[in-house]
Chain A
């Protein structure tokens, strides 16, 4: 079975540009999470969805960040405009909420903002 799919795997962009990260959760999973990993702050939750509805976006750092989940099989995280401090690895994870099981993580997108 395919795991969580993220694209692109690597993104290099210049400050001020719009960046869109994409995630396809595991089929059948109804919870989706976006995390960011940096050396300074470690792994931190940005936002998560249950049944395509955003539940907690308190981790979204600024209004420059937005996330959507238009359907059960696709989510995007957008940064507009991007800044160098946004450089990080962004992970998407999914789970089946009712089973209280683990979250399965995608391979991550390494974002570099110059």
Chain B
């Protein structure tokens, strides 16, 4: 069975601080896909990134970066110079078939950026 653990239930930082959201996953599959989604207070789920198990390169997109380490089964998400608009619940998710398979979500991390 697949499992995603986001141990940080809530994180509160002051604007402009860097913050890292942790994600640890469990799967027996050799091929799998990892995702991060953002859920702002309005409630929709916004896709941020997809990673497959063969690609361990770190990725940077503006103030966002992701660190994928198969050795520790982790896929952590860092926001640099956080802004109030980053306040949201962030979900890490796992699937065997990318978009063709159901996602197993973590419980989410509620990120609060204080001005």
Contact = CB atoms under 8 A, between A and B. Distances in A.
Interface of A: 31, 33, 35, 42-45, 48, 50, 56, 59, 89, 91, 93, 95-105, 107-108
Interface residues of B, number: 22
A42 B107 contact: yes
Contacts of A100: 33, 52, 97-100
A44 B91 CA distance: 12
A43 B91 contact: yes
- List of 8 A-B pairs having minimum Cβ-Cβ separation, nearest first: A100-B98, A95-B99, A97-B100, A45-B102, A105-B45, A43-B105, A102-B47, A101-B99
A45 B103 contact: yes
By secondary structure, the B interface counts as mixed
Contacts of A107: 43-44
By secondary structure, the A interface counts as strand
Contacts of B101: 48
Contacts of B68: none
Interface of B: 33, 35, 37, 43-45, 47, 50, 52, 91, 97-108
A102 B52 CA distance: 11
Contacts of B35: 102
Contact of A102 (B44, B91, B99, B107): B99
Contact of A95 (B37, B100, B105, B108): B100
Contacts of A96: 99
A104 B97 contact: no
Contacts of A89: 43
A103 B37 CA distance: 10
A93 B98 CA distance: 13
Nearest to A44: B105
Contacts of A31: 99-100
